[in-house]
């Protein structure tokens, strides 16, 4: 570094400074090490946060899957009560509406089958009672059999 005399506008001397860079290199290495440690800690925290958040998001989907499995095994009394994320809440509401519709359709189907079964059993039972009573009378048995064979559609076409 030059030493300048401001009154004469001349250089009166030079100062040479010398110092070791070893301490600067050690300080830079220490700073690098600390930065790497901070980055490693941040990476671990980010990964843990991502795992926890994905678990939080997946839990309602697991409940939905479990409910669907219960329904597929015949349990129609399953209801979902999930709140939180608006999408999951919407899926839960739609799922419950679907179950209500399926239950209503199943009830209507059972009622229809019951009514049809009753309507079919009544005439068949009446015919059976009539046939049994006719067959129990010996005099009518021959007359009934002859009359049946004469009016039978399969007999008349042969």
The DSSP secondary structure of 89-143, one letter per residue, reads: HHHHHHHHHHHHHHHHHHHHHHHHHHHHHHHHHHHHHHHHHHHHHHHHSHHHHHH
Whole-prediction pTM: 0.48
Model confidence pLDDT, tens digit, residues 134-144: 666 666 656 66
Model confidence pLDDT, tens digit, residues 26-56: 999 999 999 999 999 999 999 999 999 998 8
Dihedral over alpha carbons 60, 65, 70, 75 (to 10 degrees): 70
Under the banding of pLDDT at 50, 70 and 90, the label for residue 154 is low
């Amino acid at each position: 570094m030059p030493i300048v005399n401001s009154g004469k506008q001349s250089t009166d001397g030079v100062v040479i400074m010398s110092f070791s860079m070893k301490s600067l290199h050690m300080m830079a290495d220490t700073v690098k090490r600390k930065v790497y440690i901070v980055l490693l800690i941040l990476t671990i925290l980010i990964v843990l946060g991502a795992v926890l958040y994905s678990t939080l998001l997946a839990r309602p989907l697991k409940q939905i899957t479990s409910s669907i499995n219960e329904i597929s095994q015949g349990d129609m009394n399953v209801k979902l009560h999930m709140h939180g994320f608006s999408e999951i809440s919407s899926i839960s509401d739609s799922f419950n509406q679907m179950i209500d519709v399926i239950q209503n359709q199943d009830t209507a189907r059972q009622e229809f089958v019951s009514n049809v079964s009753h309507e079919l059993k009544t005439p068949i039972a009446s015919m059976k009672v009539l046939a049994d009573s006719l067959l129990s009378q010996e005099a009518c048995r021959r007359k009934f059999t002859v009359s049946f064979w004469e009016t039978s559609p399969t007999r008349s076409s042969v």
